[in-house]
């Protein structure tokens, strides 16, 4: 369980004192608590929508850069810049203990998955419509459901499994695999979704024992270090236009990560889950404005199935906590 949602589930009770018949007694301040909770939830929803809209911009920048720079180079710039931004914040909030995290091997493995998933996405998005790439990426909630049931011991209602099946049908409609004209880019983005689902499992396990700032920093630092080994073989010349886009990439990537973290500190994950699909809507708009493309009707149908079934899966998991059985990770 994430340390943020754990706080959400055990709110404190507020009390006020009032006079009645000359005696003072405690009265639960339910109205005040409810209004604060409602305001916090609204803030969380606003932050998640804004954060994922910026995430869609980040992906579009990577797609633009992929026209002239290598995927390894783009991913390295993203994570190296993110690590540099996080370093002073982590040191100020956590101190030197951040350099000695709990489960360091898992932290390193998570960083490797971050590097691999980003490279796979950039390679895939280079050759397919941007909105289609984001839609295929959203296969990860269904894959996460499978992994959560297999490795985290979470129980999934039958409606959840139905949502997983329908969701994969939606993904196939967006990918549109055929033996005559199959775009390998869709396969790379789906590979990214597989890796992201594994990363989410690691997030759940690390979230219970490590501060998220530490996990974020170790992920970015590890990803940058791993990608550094590939730079001599895939480095392309960087011009002034690339520098501007790279700076935008670091800024938007940092903003989207920060906003999402704060969103989940304001509202429970089950409340925010439906709003995460706003990234697909943002990707459609960005794809049209930046790349001049719109999904074909089969992709629209696939996006509808992915979004609706994703909501069903999220609802089926609400209130079901992972059992403490032995994990294979």
84-103: pLDDT as tens digits: 998 888 888 888 888 888 88
Phi then psi for 16, rounded to 5 degrees? -125, 160
Phi then psi for 28, rounded to 5 degrees? -65, 130
Model confidence band, residue 34 (pLDDT cutoffs 50, 70, 90) = low
pLDDT in tens, 163-211: 788 877 888 778 776 545 567 888 899 999 999 888 877 877 777 777 8
Model confidence band, residue 216 (pLDDT cutoffs 50, 70, 90) = confident
Phi then psi for 271, rounded to 5 degrees? -75, -35
What total number of domains does the chain contain? 1
Taking all residues of the chain, what is their mean pLDDT, rounded to a whole number? Answer: 77
Is 30 within a domain? no
* Residue environment code for 94-109, b if the CB has 16+ CB neighbours within 10 A, otherwise e: beeebeebeeeebbbb
Is 173 within a domain? yes
User: Residue 153: pLDDT above 50?
Assistant: yes
User: Residue 131: pLDDT above 60?
Assistant: yes
Q: DSSP E strands: which ranges in the chain? A: 15-20, 23-28
CA 320 distance to own-chain centroid: 21
Is 8 within a domain? no
Residue closest to 189 by CA, chosen among 141, 246, 257, 138: 138
User: Residue 272: pLDDT above 60?
Assistant: yes
Is 154 within a domain? yes
Domain that holds residue 198: 50-317
Name the region of 95 (left: φ>0; alpha: ψ -120 to 50; beta: rest). Answer: left
Report the pLDDT averaged over residues 251-278.
Answer: 77
Is 21 within a domain? no
3-state class of 208 per DSSP?
A: coil
Q: Which residue did the predictor score with more confidence, 192 or 215? A: 192
**pLDDT of amino acid 180:** 52
Is 95 within a domain? yes
Is 36 within a domain? no
């Amino acid at each position: 369980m994430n340390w943020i949602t754990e706080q959400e589930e055990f709110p404190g009770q507020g009390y006020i004192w009032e006079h009645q018949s000359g005696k003072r007694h405690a009265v639960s301040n339910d109205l005040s608590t409810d209004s604060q909770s409602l305001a916090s939830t609204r803030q969380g929803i606003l932050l998640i929508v804004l954060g994922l809209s910026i995430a869609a911009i980040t992906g579009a920048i990577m797609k633009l850069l992929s026209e002239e720079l290598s995927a390894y180079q783009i991913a390295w710039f993203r994570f190296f810049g993110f690590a540099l931004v996080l370093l002073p914040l982590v040191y100020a909030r956590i101190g030197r203990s951040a350099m000695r995290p709990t489960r360091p091997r898992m932290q390193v493995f998570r960083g490797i998955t971050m590097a691999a998933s980003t490279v796979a996405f950039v390679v895939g998005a280079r050759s397919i419509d941007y909105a289609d790439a984001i839609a295929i990426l959203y296969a990860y909630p269904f894959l996460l459901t499978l992994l959560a049931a297999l490795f985290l011991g979470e129980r999934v209602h039958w409606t959840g499994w139905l949502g997983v099946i329908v969701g994969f049908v939606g993904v196939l409609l967006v990918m549109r695999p055929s033996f005559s004209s199959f775009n390998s880019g869709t396969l790379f983005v789906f590979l990214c979704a597989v890796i992201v689902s594994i990363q989410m499992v690691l997030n759940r396990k690390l979230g219970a024992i490590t501060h998220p700032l530490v996990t974020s920093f170790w992920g970015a630092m590890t990803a940058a270090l791993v990608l550094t080994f590939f730079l001599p073989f895939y480095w392309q010349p960087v011009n002034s236009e690339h520098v501007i886009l790279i700076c935008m990439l670091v800024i938007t990537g940092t903003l989207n990560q920060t906003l999402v973290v704060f969103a989940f500190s304001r509202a429970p994950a089950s409340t925010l889950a439906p709003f995460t699909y706003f990234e697909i809507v943002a990707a459609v708009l960005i794809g049209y404005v930046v790349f001049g493309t719109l999904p074909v009707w089969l992709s629209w149908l696939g996006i509808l199935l992915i979004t609706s079934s994703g909501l069903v899966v999220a609802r089926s998991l609400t209130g079901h906590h992972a059992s403490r059985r032995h994990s294979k990770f």
